[in-house]
Structure 1
């Protein structure tokens, strides 16, 4: 690893205590294989990140049973919202704590917090208790996500890190596909409380493996934690996530509540930026944005989250409503997209490690996602599942080019002392992009569906009147009829509704493809900064061979 020097305007940390770190290079094992200790750590990190990603998928399947036992239907959405808010708000704080005090202790604390939230959520006796305990669990999940990325960034040089990209892409695929299936099995055979208790044995294994095998330098930061920055950033993030959660569902977009939250969020973030310029040890050091590469991949990550989460919500809706697919195994509907994402991510990682070259990958990914989303926008009521699957695979391939590579470029653009905040910023940008994507694309979908039903006259009115409580079911994820109501509609009304859903998905994917153009354009401006570690690749034409590994692009 490169020797790190503290920034001149920031307090120096005490010298690291000598330890026996896991060697990320030159393993004393067969070529191409990481040391056994590193493999053990990677397994533990994989378990931890799987817990954080899988939890919401499992719980979503168990929610009807939970409501049936605990009641509180009016507060149902808060079971998910509390977890999401706590995860998003805590992500940058966990990243900075790891930078200041060492990653191992902070990471172990996040695992313990997540497991404590799991135990208490499983033991909840009221909906209010469950919401509070889910927030506790979300706080731990924020640390799991950013801690995993930061530890990987510290153990494995960027040049070698690409080999492990496919593993983490596989974790996402497993979570998306297996989560609903596992949630259904647990709820039916063990009870909904085991949807939370299932985290305990897995988390305990990760806890033991990390505590016994992971060895990293200890840090004792002398600077005080940036409490004003933490409060302002948390306020801004929570306000904006609530806007995307409540807008168009709980409250109208033009309501005083939504406009007030927007003003609060924007004002808090503006004041946060001002405070960070004067804090001795800022929560988010603004100097990392001097790197052109870091700023670009942060923006790409936001747009990737925007289109990715939108696609994962509206694709199953189209397939279930228009193409008649079963909702029982909803995760399987995304299989073409997730498999292509996993395979491409694996290939991109291997190529990046072998060659050290990566500049063309973000551009290729942006182009594939844009093309795939545009093709999805052309779907009609006559589009077959095979055609939809091919379009989805194209989008997934584009995501495979970008998912892990954006994190790699972000981490390679900063010094080691800022690895935590770089990882947390990249993670947070994708999370916020997903929140905004679901909200805004959902608004497009709702407006287009209701407009199409109105245009179709009597048949559309019949479809609209078939919804629960005499109307169309509208939520942040779109306007939809439940399958039972849809099956009972007259043929003309059912056809009208399917046409309306097809029109709504056209609007969604067309808007998403326009957002993906931004990721494609941003990819053109990424510079191929040599990746740290490993055998240097030949420098690009016109580049100096002795060009330093920068904190900026």
Structure 2
């Protein structure tokens, strides 16, 4: 793709100027998807306290969105190989907006979690489709630069989200305003895409694998329900656990059989995994999801509940991680576009992720804030060089007709890792905090440092998320210490997953980025080229 507008673009192709115009709408859509999680992060303690939720409820407000996003990402990707990509992005924006409105007026935790799950349907579409549309517009070699832009938008949303969320929570709008803020951006993205995005689409019979899609969603959902509830609602080793795991494995097994033997247009074409790069990048994405989402989602809780910060102050602390992510994503994208080489960035990025997460495992409620910020910055630099470039490596080895499926598979498995990580580590956090608080209160009572009146003021259970300002000083200190130690422990638990991702990346064979969107001989199948038409 040239770097100047072309007046003689081939039929069905977009000029450089048209790409930049459409990219504006795509990046707005990506910003909305990222903002939906980050703007709520610093509001969660206030939300759960106001709606009388527990640590499990806190976890599920996050997991509900990740769950539906994860389960539907491959479906959106497959639909992108069959239908108008522009229409699908716009549908995803509408779904996201409806979910946001319901979440904003939710009267209780049940409605809020349900709205977040519906919102996740739209987020899944935006997450998968933005990558697919960009891949359809530009060659893999040029795509490195655009991947840098995506990383920059990701960083901007991650920086501005917590800050904006903190300001909204502390304003008269309260936490409900956090769910409204993305709707104007979604509307703007809808209009921009309607005017600027003109892509070729494949003209062929549409066959949607409804059975495979249903089995995949059901199998993943049951697995994540088990991971998130085990240890709190029932034991890890119990009849309920065995039943959920067995049912999940059966459904996933049936889904694999349907995808391999029954479906003529499978949601996840299993032939993609014959390519070593795709298989290893997918495995690495799972591990990165666990390490990144599973551990970092609880940082805002650490700053508010272990360090006594306001939502706005907790948002300011996120600048350390996202600043590193912003710089490394832009720099790596530009250098990759210039050189066509990407593996060194993946390897170096994962080394920094391992170092950052390992160092964050040493924090507690008394760690100097500049130290916490430094460890977060190291982690951010590593993530910025890794996340988008894994997708780029897979797209480079994929036939054009499978771009949607391949891109969404990587995104889906990263989300699976993130969902499982958030759920499992949330259960670990709840267990550790509950145990630490109970032990601490028992010690205070034994030492005679709590009066009967103070004990009576403790109206909530130790498993709930407290409002620290309303607690007696000795009990507040116990909560802060317990949360600080528990969050540090989460990063220690997440470190081996980052190491596993690093090992997967080491074995990926580097293939220089292609300079065209032509067929990939090693992956594509023989057959006539599909008829193209421009969708406007």
What TM-score, normalized by structure 2, do the two folds share?
Answer: 0.82
- 2:232 touches 2:431 (CA, 8 Å); kept in 1? no
Q: 1:364 aligns with which of 333, 348, 353?
A: 348
Q: 1:509 aligns with which of 449, 474, 491?
A: 491
Q: 2:142 aligns with which of 160, 167, 185?
A: 160
- Counterpart secondary structure, 2:214: helix
Q: Counterpart in 2 of 1:207?
A: 190
Q: 2:13 aligns with which of 5, 21, 38?
A: 21
Q: List aligned pairs for 1:531-546, cutoff 5 A.
A: 531-533=513-515
Q: Which moved more, 1:220-229 or 1:277-286?
A: 220-229
Q: Counterpart in 2 of 1:313?
A: 297
Q: CA deviation at 1:249?
A: 3.9
Q: Does 1:294 align with 2:278?
A: yes
- 1:306 touches 1:512 (CA, 8 Å); kept in 2? yes
Q: Distance in 2 between matches of 1:466 and 1:358?
A: 60
Q: Counterpart in 2 of 1:400?
A: 384
Q: Distance in 1 between matches of 2:348 and 2:270?
A: 29
Q: 1:551 aligns with which of 523, 528, 536?
A: 523
Q: Distance in 1 between matches of 2:251 and 2:504?
A: 27
Q: Counterpart in 2 of 1:472?
A: 462
Q: List aligned pairs for 1:133-212, cutoff 5 A.
A: 133-183=115-165, 185-186=167-168, 188-190=171-173, 195-212=178-195
Q: Distance in 1 between matches of 2:458 and 2:213?
A: 43
- Counterpart secondary structure, 1:329: helix
Q: Counterpart in 2 of 1:37?
A: 18
Q: Cα–Cα, structure 1 residues 20 and 213, in superposed 2: closer, same or farther, change >3 Å?
A: farther
Q: Distance in 1 between matches of 2:136 and 2:274?
A: 21
Pairwise CA RMSD of aligned residues? Answer: 3.6
Q: Which moved more, 1:233-242 or 1:54-63?
A: 54-63
Q: Distance in 2 between matches of 1:308 and 1:51?
A: 20
Q: Distance in 1 between matches of 2:272 and 2:488?
A: 38
Q: List aligned pairs for 1:525-536, cutoff 5 A.
A: 525-533=507-515
Q: Counterpart in 2 of 1:413?
A: 397
Q: Cα–Cα, structure 1 residues 59 and 333, in superposed 2: closer, same or farther, change >3 Å?
A: closer
- Counterpart secondary structure, 1:340: helix
Q: Cα–Cα, structure 1 residues 66 and 313, in superposed 2: closer, same or farther, change >3 Å?
A: closer
Q: Cα–Cα, structure 1 residues 467 and 347, in superposed 2: closer, same or farther, change >3 Å?
A: farther
Q: Counterpart in 2 of 1:338?
A: 322
Q: Distance in 2 between matches of 1:396 and 1:200?
A: 28
Q: Does 1:267 align with 2:259?
A: no
Q: Counterpart in 2 of 1:428?
A: 412
Q: Counterpart in 1 of 2:88?
A: 106
Q: CA deviation at 1:233?
A: 0.6
Q: Cα–Cα, structure 1 residues 367 and 404, in superposed 2: closer, same or farther, change >3 Å?
A: same
Q: Cα–Cα, structure 1 residues 116 and 504, in superposed 2: closer, same or farther, change >3 Å?
A: closer
Q: Distance in 1 between matches of 2:376 and 2:233?
A: 31
Q: CA deviation at 1:202?
A: 2.2
Q: Cα–Cα, structure 1 residues 119 and 21, in superposed 2: closer, same or farther, change >3 Å?
A: farther
- 2:356 touches 2:375 (CA, 8 Å); kept in 1? yes
Q: 1:219 aligns with which of 184, 195, 202?
A: 202
Q: Does 1:246 align with 2:229?
A: yes
Work out the number of aligned pairs and report it.
505
Q: CA deviation at 1:292?
A: 0.7
Q: CA deviation at 1:298?
A: 1.0
Q: Which moved more, 1:266-275 or 1:215-224?
A: 215-224
Q: CA deviation at 1:403?
A: 1.3
Q: CA deviation at 1:290?
A: 0.7
What TM-score, normalized by structure 1, do the two folds share?
Answer: 0.80
- 1:183 touches 1:195 (CA, 8 Å); kept in 2? yes
Q: CA deviation at 1:214?
A: 1.3
Q: CA deviation at 1:222?
A: 1.8
Q: Distance in 1 between matches of 2:26 and 2:389?
A: 18
Q: Distance in 2 between matches of 1:144 and 1:321?
A: 32
Q: Distance in 1 between matches of 2:46 and 2:479?
A: 29
Q: Does 1:49 align with 2:30?
A: yes
Q: CA deviation at 1:381?
A: 5.2
Q: Distance in 2 between matches of 1:303 and 1:190?
A: 38
- 1:466 touches 1:485 (CA, 8 Å); kept in 2? no
- Counterpart secondary structure, 1:217: strand
- Counterpart secondary structure, 1:473: coil
Q: Distance in 2 between matches of 1:442 and 1:549?
A: 44
- Counterpart secondary structure, 1:551: coil
Q: Counterpart in 2 of 1:540?
A: none
List gaps (5 residues or longer) in structure 1: 2-17, 24-34, 475-479, 536-546
- Counterpart secondary structure, 1:284: coil
Q: CA deviation at 1:482?
A: 4.2
Q: Which moved more, 1:445-454 or 1:456-465?
A: 456-465
Q: List aligned pairs for 1:432-511, cutoff 5 A.
A: 432-449=416-433, 458-459=443-444, 469=459, 471-473=461-463, 482-484=467-469, 488-489=473-474, 494=477, 500-511=482-493
